[in-house]
A = this chain, B = another copy of it.
């Protein structure tokens, strides 16, 4: 590890090389951690040390969301649990069209976690929050005994403000809607799997982890009537579209030829026996919009794309049809159909189990 990085740690590493139970005990060591590491890193918001943050919101509807992060390993190509906890919640807020404003941050630390690891994560959280333009306003720190955690878990909850007139929700999806995909699939899941399994790629495959709030705000700013947005995390594209099809009582028809998947991801999926349509992403989403807005929307998605390693761009991947009354799916109210490259057509259903545990 870079010695400059270590020397910047505000907690003396020789004295406290690891997290102790007392760092969660409410006493002097916990105060030191909060006052010397967390407060300077996350800005001196006046409410960090009080029980709750007092916030004045602009008038309007708000979005409120929560996620706990248990990703393993803590560090992966393209990100780590800290940047993921910030961008993941920023993206969840963005999926209701909300402009992300405020974040809470709660640590569950395992006794024995290297202090230097915590410092790296804290610095990533700080950088990600700055990049995404969201303020961390309140937090919490708990410590569990060795063997009762896995280094560290994080929870972020977020508040955003909705400045648009739409009701962005699965139930607002309508037959005739076009479905746009903001980027290529599978890079997050495959980057994590490659790290776990020690797979080597010719080039470094990185997670697509990134905030998508700029893309969403660009669509809204242009007055595009967004019916639904969904980020493609656990369960990937296929699961997200199933949830939406069921909620909206519609059939979703996809054209495989337009679904962007990089050669590296495709190759890794073949080796690992995985389907990119079910793999988690952390920087792309689907948008359901009226068909006449597709060209404008694709241009905006391209010009506001997050800066991650990909040459593939946003695509229209399918459209919404009225649900036919005589379908055979076990979920009678909604179906996702894929027209494949080789000419056939198949139903994409939920998977029962677990492709990739602890992906987020």
A interface residues, Cβ below 8 angstroms from B: 20-22, 24-31, 46, 49-57, 59, 61-70, 91-93, 95-96, 98, 102, 104-108, 137-140, 142-145, 147-150, 153, 155, 157-160, 162, 167, 169-170, 230-231, 233-236, 239, 243, 247, 280, 350-358, 360
Output the residue of A28, A59, A233 with the most chain B CB within 10 A.
Answer: A28
Is B52's CB under 8 angstroms from A63's CB? yes
The complex places the Cα of A30 from the Cα of B353 at a distance, in Å, of 9
Is A95's CB under 8 angstroms from B27's CB? no
Is B64's CB under 8 angstroms from A233's CB? no
Is B70's CB under 8 angstroms from A64's CB? no
Is B59's CB under 8 angstroms from A64's CB? no
Residues of B within 8 A of A29 (CB): 352-353
Q: Contact partner of A64 among B55, B149, B354, CB < 8 A?
A: B55
Is B66's CB under 8 angstroms from A155's CB? yes
Is B353's CB under 8 angstroms from A108's CB? no
Closest to A350 in B: B28
The complex places the Cα of A138 from the Cα of B89 at a distance, in Å, of 12
Residues of B within 8 A of A93 (CB): 51-52
Closest to A234 in B: B26
Q: A-side binding surface: helix, strand, loop or mixed? A: mixed
Closest to A230 in B: B51
Is A144's CB under 8 angstroms from B139's CB? no
Is B138's CB under 8 angstroms from A108's CB? no
Q: Shortest beta-carbon distance, A142 to chain B, in Å?
A: 5
Closest to A27 in B: B351
Residues of B within 8 A of A280 (CB): 26
Is B243's CB under 8 angstroms from A95's CB? no
Is A153's CB under 8 angstroms from B27's CB? no
Is A150's CB under 8 angstroms from B148's CB? yes
The 9 residue pairs across chains A and B that have the minimum distance between CB atoms = A26-B235, A26-B234, A25-B354, A66-B104, A157-B157, A52-B65, A51-B95, A155-B155, A52-B63
Residues of B within 8 A of A159 (CB): 64, 159
Q: Shortest beta-carbon distance, A203 to chain B, in Å?
A: 28
The complex places the Cα of A49 from the Cα of B170 at a distance, in Å, of 9
Is A354's CB under 8 angstroms from B50's CB? no
Tell whether A64 pairs with B21 under 8 Å between CB atoms, given A157-B157, A357-B145: no
Residues of B within 8 A of A139 (CB): 66
Is A92's CB under 8 angstroms from B28's CB? no
The complex places the Cα of A35 from the Cα of B265 at a distance, in Å, of 32
| 15 A/B residue pairs, CB under 8 Å, sorted by A | A22-B352, A27-B354, A49-B243, A50-B170, A51-B92, A52-B93, A54-B62, A54-B162, A64-B102, A64-B137, A65-B138, A66-B106, A144-B358, A145-B357, A149-B149
The complex places the Cα of A70 from the Cα of B354 at a distance, in Å, of 26
Is A148's CB under 8 angstroms from B145's CB? no
Is A106's CB under 8 angstroms from B155's CB? yes
Tell whether A239 pairs with B137 under 8 Å between CB atoms, given A95-B52, A159-B64: no
